[in-house]
Amino acid sequence: MNSPMQNQSWLLGICGRTANAALALAIMLVLAVFATGSAQAQTFTTLYSFEGAAGAQPYAGLVQGTDGRFYGTTQGGGAQRKGTAFKITSSGGLTRLLSFDGTDGEIPQSGLLQATDGNLYGTAESGGTNSNGTVFKITSSGNLTTLYNFCSQSGCTDGGTPTARLVQATDGNFYGTTFGGGTDNGCLPGYGCGTVFEITSSGTLTTLHSFDSTDGANPFAGLVQATDGNLYGTTEGGGANSNGGTVFKITPSGKLATLYSFCSQSGCTDGISPIAGLVQATDGNLYGTTEGGGASGGGTVFKITPSGKLTTVYNFCSQSGCTDGDTPTAGLVQATDGNFYGTTFAGGASNGGTVFKITPSGKLTTLYNFCSQSGCPDGGAPFAGLLQATDGTLYGTTLYGGAKDRGTFFSLSVGLGPFVETLPTSGEMGTNVIILGTSLTRGNSVTFNGTAATFTVVSRSEITTTVPTGATTGPVQVVTPDGTLTSNVNFRVTP
C-alpha cells in the first residue's frame, strides 16, 4: 500500500520551479527584517538548509523537547535516503539522530511527540515488517524501538499508512490515525478508508474506528484531545457531500460522531479537503484549515464548535494573484498573544508560500513571503505548521528551497515574550508535571493558579514538579529574578 501523497502532481507542480542550480551557491543563512501593518517588526531568519545526508524535505512540524532543542523528521535523505529523525538548536545546529532503513519504517511524514516518559514517539508512513508503516519510540540519543507494524492483520484491518502525529491523552495512551486500511475497502483502490487507533507505550494497538466514507475517509492529520476529554480530528475525504472531507469527534472508547461534512455549500465555499489537524483555542472552539475550496478556491480558515457549528473565518486567494496565500496544508497554532499563526503551501508575493497571522475574528496579516530571494535560499512551500517555542519565537520548516532545494528550518520573531509550557497540560493533584521554559535555572517559585508547589530545577530548560494539594484550574507560573513566566495554556486540574 503506497501513500497517494507520494503521487500528487500538484505537490511537485507548485514547487518544481524552486529547483534551481543556483541554490547550491546560495547563502545558507539569510536574515530578512521586514515591516507589516502592525506596530512591531518581524524578523525572519533561515537557520538551516537541509542537504541530504542529515535529511531532506521536512514534511512535518517540530516539537520542543525538555532539553530546549527542537525535534523533527524528514521524509527523505539520510544514510539510506528513506528519511531521518533529527534534533536542532534555536541557532540552527543540527544533529541527525537516526536514518530510517526501511525495516524500522521509512518516509516519516508526521512529526514527533515527546511523551511524559521523556521519549519521542512517532509514525512512519511506510516500511516496517509489512511495508505499510510503523509506530516507533526514539530516545533523545537516537535509539529506536518499533512498537507496531501496520497491516499485521489480514486485509490491513488494523490500518495502514499512518501519516499523522500521535497525541498522548490524559489516560497516558497514544492516539492516532491511519490514512488507509481498516475494515472498509470502498475508498481508494487497494485502500481502506483509514482508521483511528489507540496504542500503549509498550505497543499494544487497538483499532477504535474504521471509516466507511459516509462518516469520512482517509484522515491525513492527527487528533487533538479537547478539554471535554474527547478527541477531535479531520478526514481528507468522505462525508455527506462529494467526498469533501469531514470534522469528527471520537471518544477514547471509540464512539465516533461526524460533526461537519465539507462542501455543504454550493461551490464548496465552506472549504474542501481538510488535511491538517485542529487546535482548541482559549475560547473553547476548534480552529483548522482546508487546503481547497472557499469563496476564492484557495482554501480556508474555519472555526467549529464542539457541537459542530462551522464558521468560515477566512478565504485564501481573496487578494489578486493570491498574494494573501494559497493552499494551507498545515494547522494553526494559537500563540500567547491570542492570535493564530500558520503557513500556506503556495501563494504569496512570490508564489512560494507564506507565514500569516490571523485574529479569531478573521483579520489576516501576511508576515513573510517565501522565495522572496532569487533561487529561494529562504525556503519555499512550507507544508508543515509552526511551533511557538518557550522563548516566544515561532519556528518552522519548508519542504523545498534552501541552499540545496531540500528544505529549510527557520525562525520568525514577532515580538512575543517567553513563557512556560507544561507536560502534561492537565492532571489530578499529585500528578507529576514537567515545566519547559528558558532560563529556568534561578527559578525560585512555582504556582498552580496561585497555589505553591514544590519543585526541582533540572536544567535551564526544565523544572519538575507535582500538582499541589488545593490547586485549581488556571495558569502555572514560574518566578525568576528576571520576571514571572506564565504558561501558554491553563493547567486543567481534574477530579
pLDDT for the residue 397: 98
Residue 242's pLDDT band (cuts 50, 70, 90): confident
Average pLDDT, the chain: 91
Q: Is the pLDDT of residue 472 over 90?
A: yes
Instruction: Give the mean pLDDT of 433-462.
Output: 96
C-alpha to C-alpha distance for 260 and 239, rounded to whole angstroms = 8
- The pLDDT tens digits of the residues spanning 90-119 come to 999 999 999 999 999 999 999 999 999 999
Give me 429's grid cell. 493533584
In this prediction, residue 24 carries a pLDDT of 31
Residues 6+ apart with CB under 8 A from 403: 23, 24, 26, 27, 28, 49, 51, 377
Tell me the pLDDT band of 141, cut-offs 50, 70 and 90. confident
Taking the alpha carbons of 444, 119, 489, 331 in that order, is the dihedral positive or negative? positive
192-225 pLDDT, tens digit each: 999 999 999 999 999 999 999 999 999 999 999 9
What is the rounded end-to-end Cα distance, in angstroms, of the chain?
A: 44
**The C-alpha cell that represents 110 in the structure block:** 508526521
User: Partners of 105 in the beta sheet?
Assistant: 102
The mean pLDDT value for 463-468 works out to: 98
pLDDT in tens, 158-179: 999 999 999 999 999 999 999 9
Delineate the domains of the chain, giving CATH numbers in brackets.
Answer: 4-413 (2.130.10.10), 421-493 (2.60.40.10)
Predicted TM-score (pTM) of the model is: 0.92
pLDDT value at 8 more than 50: no
Tens digits of per-residue pLDDT, 40-55? 568 999 999 999 999 9
Q: Is residue 239 within 8 Å of residue 292, measured between CB atoms?
A: no
* Calpha distance 442→63 (Å, rounded): 25
Q: What is the pLDDT of residue 189?
A: 65
pLDDT score, position 184: 78
Span 329-350, pLDDT tens digits: 999 999 999 999 999 999 999 9
- Is the predicted pLDDT of residue 16 greater than 50, yes or no? no
Closest CA to 140 of 187, 90, 97: 97
Q: How far apart are CA 368 and CA 347, in angstroms?
A: 11
